[in-house]
Amino acid sequence: MAPHRILIIDDEDDIREVAALSLESVAGWDVVVASSGAQGLTRAAEFQPDAILLDVMMPGMDGPSTFRELRKNPATAHIPVLLLTAKVQASDQRRFADLGVEAVLFKPFDPLTLSTQIAGAMGWN
């Protein structure tokens, strides 16, 4: 079985690196990264990942805006998205869930369990 393909879209270098290393080394997944929403849109269309891990708070195009753009493009509309956020208030969680994302994961995340969290949310267990 081929490894899962994940696109990480986050403007913070350290978050991208830790998440990518975690998913590659712990789960053996193929990971591609993007440092902005705009770059993420291009990479999603090219890479066709099995899922996208998308940061909520980014300069320029934020996570929810990036998600809406992904949904508008027939090449990326089908790709499941998991939001990554430091905002843990119930009102924020409801707003994110109303977007239609697969799940909302929280920062800081545990690199050793990140792949398990994603797999659980995606039903890949």
Q: Could you tell me the pTM of the whole model? A: 0.95
Within a domain: 7: no
Check whether the bond before 108 is cis (ω within 30° of 0): yes
Note the pLDDT tens digit of each residue in 95-108: 877 889 999 999 99
| 121 belongs to a structural domain | no
Domain carrying residue 57: 23-111
Q: What is the pLDDT of residues 30-80, one digit of tens each?
A: 999 999 999 999 999 999 999 999 999 999 999 999 999 999 999 999 999
Question: What CATH number is attached to the domain comprising 96?
Answer: 3.40.50.2300
3-state secondary structure 48-84: CCCEEEEECCCCCCCHHHHHHHHHHCCCCCCCCEEEE
Average pLDDT on 79-90 reads: 88
Number of domains comprising the chain: 1
Tell me the mean pLDDT in the region 83-102. 83
Position 17 in a domain: no
